[in-house]
Amino acid sequence: MSFLEVLYQQMGIKDVVDIGVVSIILYQILRIVQGTRALQILLGLVLVLCLWGIGLYYKLYSLNWILTHFFEYFVLIFIILFQDQLRSALASVATGRRVFFGVFSRKRDTLEIEEIVEATSVLSKEKIGALIVFERDHGLENIINTGTRLNSEIHSDLIYSIFQSSSPLHDGAILIQGSKIAAAGCFLPLSNNVEIDRHLGTRHRAALGISEISDAIVVTVSEENGKMNVCVDGSFYLCSNENQLRQYLKHLWSNEKLDKNLKPIQQRVVE
């Protein structure tokens, strides 16, 4: 009797479900850490595990003693090393954020997107730095509290005026919550990724930082060259013109289909 026949006879529906659930969890973990420094840490842990196996096989007592005590606290070490990724994954589960289907995504008013695109385009042409954060399912109330609450309608003139150098709020970020500008002058956490381009300034590092720990969409305008970028899940997507920015926002914020000519968005979770 072959191995497959034995496996077929002994496996039940419960075993298939068990394997399927574990496979999905492992797949989601790999998607979360893909393209981040966490992937390198994960590979390092795998190498340590291989080293432990070699130590057991060849009876390297000193090495085995060290690694045995290391793995006794593995759960605690794992939580410390991957705290940002675990927080992001748990927040996605807790909010039911389109983990497998996109049927619960909210439709956004086209007029709101047009107001944002219009303001961003003008800021880009005049090379005025800007940072606009769109809250999705992960709550950003802690970020809102760092700025000045506005709770105002989304209007291009207001966005444009906030980022003028004479404005006391121009150094921070605008945070959009639902159909309102919730706050301006908000401070964002900077990215700890040591592998990002050294030429990126504080504004872009802040965009990366908030996108790495939440599902927020971030629009940046560089004051050096006026380039517009959309940042999501720790990656930048260059927008050469306002039409590209419009399409990215409609795709991310309104769940519309993205033009095939544009760089596809790589999400950390299955949409």
* pLDDT, tens digit, 9 for 90 and up, residues 183-199: 999 999 988 776 676 67
Predicted local distance difference test score (pLDDT) of residue 6: 67
Task: Name the residue among 119, 175, 185 with its Cα closest to residue 152.
Answer: 175
What would the pLDDT profile of 28-50 be if each residue is shown by its tens digit? 777 666 555 566 777 888 888 89
Asked whether residue 22 is domain-assigned, the answer is yes
The number of domains in the chain is: 2
Predicted local distance difference test score (pLDDT) of residue 104: 39
One domain for residues 129 and 245: yes
Predicted local distance difference test score (pLDDT) of residue 111: 79
Predicted local distance difference test score (pLDDT) of residue 106: 45
Task: Name the residue among 211, 42, 67 with its Cα closest to residue 140.
Answer: 211
One domain for residues 42 and 125: no
One domain for residues 114 and 211: yes
Q: Residue type for 213, please?
A: I
pLDDT-above-90 percentage for the chain:
37
Predicted local distance difference test score (pLDDT) of residue 176: 94
Instruction: Tell me how far CA of residue 134 lies from CA of 41, 89, 96, 101, 176, in angstroms.
Output: 30, 19, 18, 21, 5
Residue 77 has pLDDT above 70, yes or no: yes
One domain for residues 49 and 132: no
Last residue within a domain, chosen from 95, 120, 138: 95
Predicted local distance difference test score (pLDDT) of residue 210: 93
**Rg (alpha carbons) of the chain, rounded to whole number:** 23
Task: Name the residue among 213, 246, 231 with its Cα closest to residue 132.
Answer: 231
Quote the tokens at residue 49: 């595990």
Mean pLDDT computed over 129-135: 94
Q: Which domain range does residue 7 map to?
A: 3-95
Residue 97 has pLDDT above 60, yes or no: no
For the chain, what is the mean pLDDT? 82
pLDDT band with cut points at 50, 70 and 90 for residue 85: low
One domain for residues 116 and 166: yes
Asked whether residue 265 is domain-assigned, the answer is no
Question: What's the pTM value of the predicted model, to 2 decimals?
Answer: 0.64
Distance CA 30, CA 23 (A): 11
pLDDT band with cut points at 50, 70 and 90 for residue 173: very high
Asked whether residue 150 is domain-assigned, the answer is yes
